[in-house]
Amino acid sequence: MSDALRLGIAGLGTVGVGVVRIIQTHADMLRARSGREIVISAVSARSKGKDRGVDLSGYAWEDDPVALARREDVDVFVELMGGHEGAAKDAIEAAIATGKDVVTANKALLAHHGQAIAMAAEAAGRVVRFEAAVAGGIPVIKALTEGLAANRINRVVGVMNGTCNYILTRMQGAGLTYDQAFAEADGLGYLEADPNLDVGGIDAGHKLSLLSAIAFGTQVDFAGVELEGIGSVIIDDIQNADQMGYRIKLLGVAQMTGRGLEQRMSPCLVPQTSPLGQLVGGTNMVVLEGDAAGQIVLRGAGAGEGPTASAVMADVMDIARGLRLPTFGQPASTLRKVASARAAVPAPYYLRLSLLDKPGAMAKIAGALGEAGVSILRMRQHDHTGTHAPVVIVTHKTTRAALDMAIGLFAQTGVVDGDPVAIRIEEV
């Protein structure tokens, strides 16, 4: 039996408490599986006095996470505070500088500073692991970094924000408006303090940028993620999609193109019958496409105490067992810096627009599309009573550039009211 592996845990919210609970209840099992005792030396959080439902009396307390990270009786610094600047960053840097391995659930921090942190860790011979940062309890970082290590990855696709999927599922299933479903999610405590992190696609975009780095051997490039939230999706879109055999999901897609790395986080139509189309509620799903393995689909809880703590502890167990990989699967110094290719890959699109009910209006729209080189797969004008007719168009595969040109031409026709909504159709 080797020496015990000693943890310092910074952050005792839901996930931190979950980690403490696993270590307390499963000590024997963890030792049997890793060959080592996993112990907690010290913890840190904002409020020492708060009752968290677990016994912390056996652990040293630090008010300052940086002091925790520097403690001599800590082998692994477990960062569960969150935030992409400030204390979390300072503490991780201090941990690496004083020779600790790091386990973190902090997607925002790694999305912004992952390259620098990985470089520092590797220079110091330390590991930084982050299974819990992406898709909660699903071991997707491991599947990508290790399980598919011999694959050239063609594409990564995922639904990685459970709150957005909950909102879209409720609009679909219960016929709620976006505002109603948003309010319901809020009432259930599903939304971040800044809801735009969820519904604006930022949180999921952070996750996508981390998967991209591993999948394509590139430096994390969150700024290169094309971000579009779900706020523009209305109930009509959900219903139109349904009638055509699709569901709308906030979908992350990353793929290497001839023009650079394409990373998109945006609402997309996916076939109802596909695994992604069938995903309901707060569950997450990631699809990894390898040149040898083909399509691997992973599905599970994307958040919550147990699932996220499970992922944190998987990283801890790997360290206990002696697995030491570079943060993004290959040395950070070898990760390429590549151009970002916005919407480079052609796709069919769903278009919804409000047409003024004038003779020849439809012809003008069709003409604008034709002029931009966008061809029409289906076009439907809905029944209406007022002066505006809702029109839904599904295009053949086209580039986003051609589509934007067509939308620009719509404005000149004088028959389109307001901004058309364009949603990509992703075949997964």
Q: Residues interacting with a second copy, by CB under 8 A?
A: 18, 22, 26, 29-30, 32-35, 131, 137-139, 142-143, 146-152, 217, 273, 275, 278, 290-301, 304, 306-307, 309-311, 313-314, 316-318, 321-325, 329-331, 334
Based on CB atoms, which residue is closest to a second copy, 235 or 297?
Answer: 297
Q: Which helix (H) or strand (E) holds 117?
A: helix 107-123
Nearer to a second copy, 311 or 409 (CB): 311
- Output the smallest distance, CB 300 to a second copy, in A: 4
Torsions phi, psi of 286, nearest 5?
-125, 135
Left, alpha or beta for 98 (phi > 0: left; psi -120 to 50: alpha)?
alpha
Supply the minimum distance, in Å, between the C-beta of residue 379 and a second copy: 32
Q: Give the C-alpha separation, 21 to 198, whole Å.
A: 28
Closer residue to a second copy, CB minimum distance, 34 or 106 = 34
- CA 318-320-322 angle, to 5 degrees, is 70
SS3 call for 270 = strand
Cβ at position 172, least distance to a second copy in Å: 14
Query: Please, are residues 124 and 77 in contact by the beta-carbon 8 Å criterion?
Result: no
Q: Do 215 and 144 contact (CB within 8 A), yes or no?
A: yes
In sequence order, the β-bridge partners of residue 353 are 391
Residues with catalytic roles: 207
Structural contact between residues 31 and 37, judged by C-beta atoms closer than 8 angstroms: yes
Q: Which is nearer to a second copy, 268 or 298 (CB)?
A: 298
Q: What minimum distance in Å lies between the beta carbon of 165 and a second copy?
A: 15
Q: 261, 205, 222, 259: which is closest to 115 by C-alpha?
A: 222
Q: Would you say 143 or 355 has its CB closer to a second copy?
A: 143
Q: Hey, what amino acid is at 122?
A: E
Shortest Å distance, C-beta 131 to a second copy: 8
Residues in CB range of 220: below 8 A, 6 or more apart: 110, 111, 114, 115, 209, 210, 212, 213, 328
Kindly tell me the sign of the dihedral angle through the C-alpha atoms of 320, 293, 275, 155. positive
Residue with tokens 């209406």: 384
* Other CB atoms within 10 A of residue 383 CB: 6
Structure tokens at 165: 């999927």
Least CB distance to a second copy at residue 328 (A): 10
Output 149 or 223, the one with its CB closest to a second copy: 149
Q: Which of 33, 13, 11, 37 is nearest to 24 (CA)?
A: 37
User: Closest separation between CB of residue 314 and a second copy, Å?
Assistant: 5
Strands 246-257 and 76-79: unpaired
**29 vs 223 by CB, closer to a second copy:** 29
